[in-house]
Amino acid sequence: MAERIPAVLEQEFRKRLSFYQDIGIELFYRDRSSRQHANLTEEITLPKPAQKLQPAKLTVPTPLPAPKLNVLRRSSDISLFESMNKIAGDSLPKILADIGECTRCKLHRGRTKLVFGDGNPKAELVFVGEGPGRDEDAQGLPFVGRAGKLLTQMIEAMGLQRRDVYICNVVKCRPPENRTPEKDEVETCSPFLLRQLDAIAPKVIVCLGSVAAQTLLETNRGISHFRGQWLDFRGKKLLATYHPAYLLRNPSAKGEVWKDLQKVMAVLGLQVKKGQAPGKPS
């Protein structure tokens, strides 16, 4: 006979489901192979569905397209991103409205301004950074501090303007003292990044630094293992390169980044203009 799950667990489960619904996930599959679930009874009975949990939404699984395996992730790992369907008609304003005055993770406590993203909503090229720093938090715009100035130079060296591309981050609120965002913060915020990327549907995604790369590729491998290589992200070309802040500390790595950006330029059909020194950004 089916057993009810404990009330506390049920409440947690409800909260988690409604969060997933907020971020656009409406279909759920049980992973029968996971050892984590081995101690649960074979069938989980949910209490009578409340308004938000209409069974119709949960029971009609649309087949997902066969996922392209990400070479960096073990094929047995569960991928949140692959399980998220594209939301038909999604747009940046809708995503921003869904984020709202976000308090979903602890980063909201130290926030001045949420930094959603900036640039061309139809960009062929999207840069993804880690999270806002002090200047970004103050202005509500991504990459406007020192690292941002270098990113702007990099974009211009590619023959583009900032307004031609889209720039955003894994987390939308500044981590205290610019620390690396923590796992729960990334997990809470990155589904909105995924929606942004789906809505923009760029040709190329450039991950700036390991947090962006590891988040989108769902890997723990260090960026040096795959920097400069073309990888797949939900059918889009993704390339990871060093973060501009790293370049400020290690200017000798600029040459490698410039080589990476030239690969991106080749895919986008961009050429270094004649008469303009093709050299790497200074």
Contact residues toward ligand URA (CB under 6 A) are 129-133, 136, 142-143, 145, 147-148, 169, 245
| Smallest distance from ligand URA to CB 209, Å | 7
The angle that helices 92-99 and 183-200 make with each other, rounded to 10 degrees, is 160
CB contact at 8 A, 244 and 143: yes
**CB-nearer residue toward ligand URA: 132 or 191:** 132
**CB-nearer residue toward ligand URA: 5 or 92:** 92
| Smallest distance from ligand URA to CB 158, Å | 18
**CB-nearer residue toward ligand URA: 17 or 144:** 144
CB contact at 8 A, 25 and 83: yes
Distances (CA, A) of 178 to 87, 111, 150: 32, 12, 18
**CB-nearer residue toward ligand URA: 87 or 208:** 208
The 10 Å Cβ neighbour count of residue 94 is 14
265: helix, strand or coil: helix
Question: At CA 35, angle to CA 29 and CA 39, rounded to 5?
Answer: 95
Q: In whole angstroms, what is the distance from residue 88 CA to residue 5 CA? A: 34
| Smallest distance from ligand URA to CB 129, Å | 3
| Smallest distance from ligand URA to CB 244, Å | 7
**CB-nearer residue toward ligand URA: 17 or 168:** 168
| Smallest distance from ligand URA to CB 193, Å | 12
CB contact at 8 A, 172 and 104: no
